[in-house]
Copies of this chain bind each other. A is one copy, B any other.
Amino acid sequence: MSTSSAGRRPTMEDVADMAGVSRGTVSRVLNGGHYVSPDALAAVHRAIRKTGYVVNQHARSLVTQRSDSVAFILSDPQDRLFEDPNFAILLKGCTQALAERGITLVLTIAGTLEDRKRVGRWVTAGHVDGVLLVSEHAGSPLIDELRSRGLPIVAAGRPIGYERDISYVAADDRDGARQMVTYLRSRGHRRIGIITGPIDTPGGVDRLAGYHDVLGEADPRLVANGDYTQDSGARAMDELLHRAPDLDAVFVCSDLMARGAIAALRRAGKRIPEDVAVGGFDDSKAAVSATPQLTTIRQDFVRVSTEMVRLLHDAITSGGRSAVILPTDLVIRDSA
């Protein structure tokens, strides 16, 4: 027992001594095992098992300048996202896709401004090699800070105001909205309302833009705002019914809001889809569990997550930025 003292966590040196080789050989074994003789390889593996050696990530990262981790930063002030089943898919998808590349995903929440600062410091201190940004609202100082450090970033959804600066993966919100409104019109509806998402989110502005693409300027009384929650959908629907009692269809920019809108329509004595047709967006679980089942727009979140990871990996290894827009599809069910 000359070198291996009691409480200390074993180092490469300990492993090397036990295996009768040098640090360098142990390192080679750990990093792929090339140019290592079978004997040495076996001896090192045995020594690793015996000592219970685990690499010291800090020492490794200090020299490699890499941590093999990326952060998934959630900067939604509310916890809206946790209730969104699509979010869980996105998170799982990213975790999975990164794991395949040997990278660990860690999620940090940065709801408050103070959180954002703390997380910014944490991230720039070198804990991660890159960042996946989710639901970052316009004008957040976090993006600027990360950018100034040269940290690779990929956003989920179009990062308003930063389209030319950071990579992102987004569903084609605008086209999805166009598809839905076109479909509603093709079914003979003429007074088509819209309940939008928050106007500081891409899903808010782009889906509204798609609506206008098809209908032109339309009647401003047919436009109401929501915030993606079920309650806000009901409230916006009430408003719409009040302002435009003759409306015969409504495009609701999220399935959850659509549920609220349907409840409000029912309360007003409207039948769906006979009196008012309802179109949703997301094709989340809420779409099929609603009555009637929602006609909606599907976004492929599994695809979004794999693309995000691909882009981030590219950015980490070779730099550069790019954007990917994924198609959206109309899913016809019973509500329209």
A interface with B by C-beta (< 8 Å): 9, 52, 54-59, 61-62, 67, 69, 71, 79, 82-83, 85, 87-88, 91-92, 95, 99, 104-109, 111, 114-115, 118-119, 121-122, 124-127, 148-149
Contacts and interface: CB of A to CB of B under 8 A. Distances in A.
A83 B118 CA distance: 27
A127 B55 CA distance: 11
Nearest to A64: B58
Contacts of A59: 58, 62
A107 B107 contact: yes
Contacts of A108: 104-107
A306 to B, nearest CB: 17
Contacts of A104: 108, 118-119, 122
Contacts of A82: 82, 85, 87-88, 91
B115 A95 contact: yes
A121 B121 CA distance: 25
A27 to B, nearest CB: 15
Given A104-B108, A119-B104, A85 B83 contact: yes
A55 to B, nearest CB: 6
A107 B92 CA distance: 12
Nearest to A110: B95
A284 to B, nearest CB: 12
Contacts of A67: 58, 127
A91 B87 CA distance: 16
18 contacts: A55-B125, A56-B126, A57-B125, A57-B126, A57-B127, A58-B59, A58-B126, A79-B92, A82-B85, A83-B83, A95-B109, A99-B114, A104-B122, A106-B106, A106-B107, A107-B107, A107-B109, A127-B127
Ranked 10 nearest A-B pairs via Cβ: A106-B106, A57-B125, A107-B107, A58-B61, A58-B62, A82-B88, A79-B88, A58-B58, A104-B122, A57-B126
A53 to B, nearest CB: 10
Nearest to A57: B125
Contacts of A105: 108-109
A149 B54 contact: yes
A160 to B, nearest CB: 26
A226 B127 CA distance: 41
Contacts of A149: 9, 52, 54
Contact of A91 (B91, B109, B125, B127): B109
Given A61-B58, A91-B109, A92-B109, A99 B121 contact: no
Nearest to A7: B150
Nearest to A230: B289
